Amino acid sequence: MSGLATLRFKLMFAWAYLLRITLSYAAGNNVAAQTIALIHPRIPRQKKAFIAGLEKIFPERETVEKAWDRHKLLVGLTRFQGSFYAQKNTRWINQCEVDIQGAEYVREYYSQHKGVLVMTYHHHLNMLFCNLLGRLTLPVTTIAMDAQDNQQYQKFGGRVNRIYEHAERHLNGGDIILVKPQRMMRSILRAFEKSHLVISANDFPEVFDDKNRKEFPFLNTVLSCPTGTVKLAVRKKIPIVAAYLNWLGGSRFELVIKPVSNGIDELKVKDAMQRYLAVLEQAIQKQPGIWEGWKWIK
């Protein structure tokens, strides 16, 4: 990372902090969404690949431009949320108004005492997604990449650790599993054995275990996806849902949950992935800018 990029990151953190201490939560969300992308050092670099992916699926220029604008809003909102996660006070999350659609599926599946696999994708509000899922008052465990070898971690590792520690307080006894290649399945299996809701992102090509990466039809193209967590869930007959979080403005969010498998009927990994990707397609068709994965569309 260049010195200028580091400076812009620090400026972005300072601006988010200023908004947090001067505005209400709802107003801060709105202002951050409109302004932080203007100083985010990665936005200009992301645009070309992001737009190229969008244009392969959506020929209408207006749709592409609206999706890019929505992406920038959510980048700004995400960085603002990081300002809250980087502090010790955890009471702020009570200001989030969330409408959880499909909670009945999770509660029904959880009653089997097996845990539930929650399949999601790379949207922006990842920690908030985990913590608002915690509103179901069930233990939530999420899988995240162990970034300690990453160059950015060397500069901002303390902040990253504070965000993880903060998020863990809203997981109802759940955990954040930091994974590296060949070091994930045992921890995930233990979480299922404890009847946790286990969150796994299954939409991206950079996977930890290449033998479990498979290609699936997606939006008139092909998407390469990790399937290791799904294989484990299918083998152990763990119920599965697909879910995503959407920001409605201010302090309002919606968390949408769709059923994939009840953990009782026989299911193949291919079928589970197709059902999960159908949920992702439906969300993207409605609002393309909520997905970060356009840069993966070839």
Count the neighbouring beta carbons within 10 Å of the beta carbon of residue 45.
11
Q: Which DSSP state fits 87?
A: S
Note the pLDDT tens digit of each residue in 88-107. Answer: 899 999 999 999 999 999 99
Mean pLDDT of 21-42: 94
Mean pLDDT of 3-19: 85
Say how far apart CA 21 and CA 119 lie, in whole Å. Answer: 35
Judge whether residue 208 has pLDDT over 80.
no
Domains of the chain: total? 1
What is the SS3 assignment for 27-82?
HHHHHHHHHHHHCCCCHHHHHHHHHHHHHHHCCCHHHHHHHHHHHHHHHHHHHHHH
Judge whether residue 153 has pLDDT over 50.
no
**How large is the angle between the packed helices 126-133 and 151-168, nearest 10 degrees?**
20
CA–CA distance from 52 to each of 49, 55, 179, 217, 268 (Å)? 5, 5, 31, 19, 33
Judge whether residue 187 has pLDDT over 90.
no
- Domain enclosing residue 31, as ranges: 3-296
Burial class (CB in 10 A: 0-12, 13-18, 19+), 204: middle
Q: Among 27-31, 43-47, 146-150, whose mean pLDDT is lowest?
A: 146-150
CA 274 and chain centroid, separation: 19
Q: Among 49-58, 60-69, 205-214, 278-287, whose mean pLDDT is lowest?
A: 205-214
